[in-house]
Structure 1
Amino acid sequence: MKNFAKYFATLFGIGFISLAPGTFGSLFAILIWYVFIDLFSIFYFIVLFFFVLSVSFYITDIYLDNYKKKDPSEVIVDEFLGQSIPLLFIVNFNIYEVLIAFVTFRFFDIYKVYPINKMEDLKGSYGVILDDIVAGIYSLIILMLYKILTLL
């Protein structure tokens, strides 16, 4: 289970990229989203998101216990989840919407505006994952504002 936790939490080792692993985690989410909407439908990406969400807290806790770190940079399943939140609302490929989702998520994830910064104080996997979930929700809000404004 230790090895599975390592591969799952680091998105198959992508998290070990030394330069900006969180950004690569976000890009991985976009790649997976694109493959799913191109080959299948958004429905299957939604199913994948909820599956990853449902097991990520447990698996991340295993990783944290084994490697004795609070919020290791190589754990990027949280970036996958956070970046996926705005992507869940992009049903067809639109480069502007994808760029807005990516840039705003990375901004909120890096700068940790309130209450994202408070999520990091939570213990274990909750502190690792929930800050990215909130950053993803903030990114989704910006994306929805963009969609509304472009309809006017």
Structure 2
Amino acid sequence: MKSLIKWIAIGFGTGLSPVMPGTVGTLVGLPLAWGLMQIHGWAAQAIICVLLTLLSIPICEVAEKMIGGKDPGCIVADEYLTLPITVIGLANPWALLSGFVLHRIFDITKPPPIKQLQHIHGGFGITIDDFLAALIALGLNHLIFHYFG
């Protein structure tokens, strides 16, 4: 069971990419985000995203203990399970691309308040920065598609 959790945590192998494992691992979230966009009603979409985020916490917790170290780069479940947040309430397929790019920018650069959360350990600590990055990306995605799309 633990090896299955680890396999999920490393994005079915994508987190083992020698180049930009977080970005490569986030690609796993694109089908999830696309599927989310097919569900009518932002409230239902938000509930699903909360559940995916909550699922990320124990997955990342177990994998971190198995792999060792704080927030190993190969753990990407936090990235791909929070990516769908970036498209809540949006129907334009281009929102997938902008959501992906914005999510990665905010996860990599960690602007405040994301940076201040880096001291938190465990699955919650691994997931919370991606959750906030996704929320910021969601806000910007809505601005982009409200004004330009």
| Structure 1 runs not aligned, ≥5 long | none
Cα distance change of structure 1 residues 54 and 126 upon mapping to structure 2, 3 Å threshold: closer
| Structure 2 runs not aligned, ≥5 long | none
**Identity between Structure 1 and Structure 2 (%):** 27
Instruction: Give 3-state SS (helix, strand or coil) of 1:42's partner.
Output: coil
Contact 1:83 1:136 in 2 (8 A): yes
- Please give the alpha-carbon distance, in whole angstroms, between the structure 2 residues aligned to 1:55 and 1:150: 34
- Please give the alpha-carbon distance, in whole angstroms, between the structure 1 residues aligned to 2:96 and 2:59: 28
Q: List, as ranges, runs of 4+ consecutive aligned residues in structure 1 with deviation greater than 4 Å.
A: none
Superposed displacement of residue 67, structure 1: 1.9
- Please give the alpha-carbon distance, in whole angstroms, between the structure 2 residues aligned to 1:12 and 1:139: 25
Q: Is 1:42 the counterpart of 2:21 in the alignment?
A: no
- Please give the alpha-carbon distance, in whole angstroms, between the structure 1 residues aligned to 2:54 and 2:109: 26
Q: Number of paired residues?
A: 145
- Please give the alpha-carbon distance, in whole angstroms, between the structure 2 residues aligned to 1:150 and 1:93: 11
The corresponding residue for 1:75 is: 75
Instruction: Give 3-state SS (helix, strand or coil) of 1:73's partner.
Output: coil
- Please give the alpha-carbon distance, in whole angstroms, between the structure 2 residues aligned to 1:9 and 1:106: 18
Normalising by structure 1, report the TM-score. Answer: 0.82
How big is the alpha-carbon RMSD for the aligned residues of Structure 1 and Structure 2? 2.2
The corresponding residue for 1:85 is: 85
Among 119, 122, 127, which residue is 1:121 paired with?
119
Superposed displacement of residue 93, structure 1: 4.2
Superposed displacement of residue 26, structure 1: 2.1
